[in-house]
């Protein structure tokens, strides 16, 4: 993997250089990580793996290694078969090498508290980010199984409140792994600091897009204009970092 912008480097960036290329300054941040095709599609047959590449998996691992917590919509956690991150996994090993605790908590966002008791994520250190309207019995059952249940909002999840609650627990640097509904809500709430898009050289078509509707809040300019900060490349795949102006 090589760096094209801002300062060309490579051609074989090692893991330490890659981690440095993605490290955030200390403090709170929400970065969003997606792999997309050239036409903005985010999945092939319902999963992102069809757009993946060795470089994408490597950047995905680095972003997990640098994060305090992964934030993910329940739809993505279910579609992609999310499980706990720790043990002897490549991410845990990379985290240990970077001086981080090997286990990485996953925070599942679900208005309806859809995480099923018995699911392999339904245990510590998983967090559930939900709202007061979610079934109280389900919330209690998940809490009893060791899940940290964060009630953030009444009828819907309030993402700024959720990020405050995570930061209060020392989970300040958040990597959001989608999906599109969660991305749109985070953009509408103005809480996204960075978009890390892997652009795969593929044309896919279909309805599953990065955004299925305008991201602005009511009455606002709906076009968000991120600023390019970095481009890496490997095998024709582009790995970009874009900064967004925070509105909250
Ligand atoms: N290419 C990529 O990098 C990438 C990344 C992520 C996902 N994907 C793809 O995207 C697809 C999944 O999409 P999806 O539409 O199901 O996306 P999603 O945003 O992961 O999940 C939607 C569900 O998550 C919960 N949720 C999301 N945002 C919420 C919010 N602001 N407040 C409360 N709850 C919220 C809700 O769960 P409840 O219904 O339980 O309330 C909602 O039904 C999969 O095919 C996956 O492969 C691709």
Predicted pLDDT of residue 206: 87
At residue 166 the predicted structure's pLDDT band, cuts being 50, 70 and 90, is very high
- Sheet containing 106-109: order of strands: 2-5, 227-234, 237-243, 194-200, 29-37, 173-176, 69-73, 106-109, 127-130, 148-151
Task: Dump pLDDT digits (tens) for 197-230.
Answer: 999 999 999 889 999 888 876 666 678 899 999 9
The residue nearest atom 22 of ligand 1, judged by CA position, is 75
Q: Enter the tokens of residue 134.
A: 């979610």
Task: Dump pLDDT digits (tens) for 22-48.
Answer: 999 999 999 999 999 999 999 999 999
pTM of the model: 0.97
The residue nearest atom 8 of ligand 1, judged by CA position, is 179
Q: Enter the tokens of residue 183.
A: 């991305």
Task: Dump pLDDT digits (tens) for 116-147.
Answer: 999 999 999 999 999 999 999 999 999 999 99
- For 69, 108, 160, 198, 236, the CA distances from 85, given in Å and listed in that order, are 10, 13, 25, 22, 29
Neighbouring residues of 198: CB distance < 8 A, sequence distance ≥ 6:
33, 34, 35, 36, 51, 53, 55, 56, 59, 237, 238, 239, 240
HSE-CB for 176 with a 13 A CA cutoff? 27
Query: What CA–CA distance (Å, rounded) separates 68 from 173?
Result: 5
Contact 97, 91 (CB under 8 A): no
Query: What CA–CA distance (Å, rounded) separates 21 from 40?
Result: 24
Q: Enter the tokens of residue 233.
A: 């490349």
Degrees, nearest 5: CA angle 179-230-56: 45
Ligand 1 pocket, residues with Cβ under 6 angstroms: 34-35, 42-43, 46-48, 51, 73-76, 79-80, 109-112, 114, 156-157, 177-182, 185, 208
Task: Dump pLDDT digits (tens) for 63-102.
Answer: 999 999 999 999 999 999 999 998 899 999 999 999 999 9
Contact 35, 56 (CB under 8 A): yes
Q: How far does residue 203's CA lie from ligand 1's centre (Å)? A: 22
Contact 162, 131 (CB under 8 A): no
Q: What share of the chain is helix, strand, coil (3-state, %, to 5)?
A: 25, 25, 45
Degrees, nearest 5: CA angle 210-188-64: 55
Contact 107, 76 (CB under 8 A): no
Q: How far does residue 16's CA lie from ligand 1's centre (Å)? A: 31
Q: How far does residue 182's CA lie from ligand 1's centre (Å)? A: 6
Contact 208, 42 (CB under 8 A): yes
Helix (H) or strand (E) segment spanning residue 4: strand 2-5
Predicted pLDDT of residue 204: 95
Give residue for tokens 């809480």: 191
The residue nearest atom 33 of ligand 1, judged by CA position, is 111
């Amino acid at each position: 993997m090589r760096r094209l912008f801002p300062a060309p480097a490579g051609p074989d960036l090692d893991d330490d250089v890659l981690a440095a290329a993605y490290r955030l300054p200390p403090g709170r941040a929400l970065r969003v990580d997606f792999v997309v095709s050239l036409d903005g599609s985010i999945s092939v047959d319902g999963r992102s793996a069809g757009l993946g590449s060795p470089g994408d998996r490597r950047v995905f691992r680095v972003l997990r290694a640098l994060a305090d917590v992964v934030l993910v919509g329940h739809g993505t956690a279910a579609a992609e078969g999310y499980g706990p991150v720790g043990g002897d996994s490549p991410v845990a090993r990379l985290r240990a090498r970077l001086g981080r605790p090997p286990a990485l908590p996953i925070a599942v966002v679900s208005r309806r508290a859809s995480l099923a008791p018995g699911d392999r994520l339904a245990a510590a250190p998983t967090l559930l980010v939900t709202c007061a309207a979610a079934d109280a019995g389900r919330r209690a059952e998940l809490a009893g199984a060791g899940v940290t249940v964060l009630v953030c909002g009444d009828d819907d999840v309030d993402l700024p409140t959720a990020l405050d609650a995570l930061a209060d627990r020392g989970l300040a640097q958040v990597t959001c792994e989608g999906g599109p509904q969660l991305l749109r809500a985070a953009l509408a709430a103005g809480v996204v600091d960075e978009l890390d898009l892997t652009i795969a050289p593929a044309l896919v078509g279909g309805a599953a897009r990065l955004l299925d509707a305008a991201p602005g809040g009511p009455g606002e300019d709906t076009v968000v204009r991120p600023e390019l900060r970095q481009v890496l490349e490997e095998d024709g795949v582009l790995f970009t970092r874009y900064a967004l102006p925070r509105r909250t």
